[in-house]
A = this chain, B = another copy of it.
């Protein structure tokens, strides 16, 4: 049977020797929808890798203006095609068209592409550093090798392998991208790839700058991830899948940036609860169940003091969860994983306060609230940090601030950690103690708002210590910061001025921020002063 074509080396062409095929499913019914897509074998993977490798040098030498033009044309094409894209994504993911897909995620995606274009035009991502006395000049440069991007199931636009943050980061840094779409939304990914190819052709980038594969099995994935022709890997997904790919990449010396898992602890300090516990229960419930809780930064563990205000919060939160309809999940796999996670938490001593059951038809699960004593959490910290990806959260009841601190210190690496404090300053001391224990365990420390919002900002850190990600020093969101993952540090030592890249020459190409002899400025290098 014919399957949808792959985008390889600038052409839509049939899979060669695919090992199988698959279709998307409507998560609300579990029924297959849309056309069949190929599961690639070695031949297609090799073709994509060879084409990307051959294109890498030409892309690295492409003028920034053309990269920026591609990103902006692509953003505009996504906007022009929004209705179709949103309909496809809604059908494949069951995420609501409004506001989520239309008003939040799609604009976020186009904004991200445009911010990447801006970073390209300003050279901000290259971070030029110049030592005039030694005549040493360094900057960040393309890897000159392909970047393999694995998209997750939970953001069909904003983290899509062919439109999201990893994609935008990698290609803005002038690296070819081999996009491995998530097989739960292939038609959305195909539509995006069509728009990307047109924009690519308009901008005159090498044809293999952007390629699209929909699916391959674990063995081929591991072989590809360990191929020395790759420059880097960007991955967002499950811990088990990510670690298998990371192991393959590590053995070949390939930097692999994996966003793996996180339970995003939220500490409700006593004063905050006393001040506005009912509002916090509502805010927590909304954050935990939005998008059926399928966020990397879902508040999966909430630490609640064992006092009257804490009891009231638990009662209110339980009522919210108990009264909510089951949420639709992306797939059978997500549902299975969630049920397994809830079972693990219950086996480790967590009591069920609300929800707990799958729903029908399709892939549904009730918003689920569990609770455990802090002493029990501290006795089984690993099991009780199991990520239950979906509308699930575990309340940890702590006797006092000292026990909250002990719980904070028991967390493994997470993307975020949140503290809610009283406006009157009565939690200040508790903040200091809990934050001190939590700070090094999370990438983003948050005050008085839920972790599910991830602003696309140069000051964002959507990252964190292992095992939330594979490296504590990088963010997957925010331009130009996220681009840094897909760059190499290049130094020019006594290189003739006319052989230097534009942003390292004496004359500033125009408003580029450069660190010259320790001072950030947008100046030219004063030849008279230096050489006179």
Contact = CB atoms under 8 A, between A and B. Distances in A.
A130 interface: yes
B459 A491 contact: yes
A386 interface: no
Interface string A254-283: 110000000000000000000000000000
A53 to B, nearest CB: 12
Interface of A: 57, 60-61, 124, 129-131, 134, 136-138, 140-145, 246-247, 250-255, 416, 421, 428, 431-432, 435-436, 439-440, 443-449, 455, 457-461, 463, 465-467, 470-475, 481, 484-485, 487-496, 498-499, 513, 515, 518-521
Nearest to A260: B253
A399 to B, nearest CB: 23
Nearest to A445: B492
B489 A131 contact: no
10 contacts: A134-B455, A136-B459, A255-B471, A444-B491, A445-B493, A447-B499, A449-B493, A460-B491, A463-B489, A481-B489
A60 B438 CA distance: 13
Contact of A440 (B134, B143, B465): B143
Copies in the complex: 2
A489 B466 contact: no
Contacts of A130: 459
Contacts of A515: 458, 513
A227 to B, nearest CB: 13
B144 A440 contact: yes
A490 B513 contact: no
B520 A472 contact: no
Given A131-B459, A137-B459, A499-B435, A440 B60 contact: yes
Contacts of A57: 436, 440
Contacts of A252: 466
A143 B471 CA distance: 11
Looking at A449, A493, A494, the one whose CB has the most chain B CB atoms below 10 A away is A493
A457 B443 CA distance: 29
A484 B471 CA distance: 12
Contacts of A460: 131, 134, 136, 138, 491
A108 B414 CA distance: 40
Contact of A487 (B458, B473, B513): B473
B493 A440 contact: no
A165 to B, nearest CB: 15
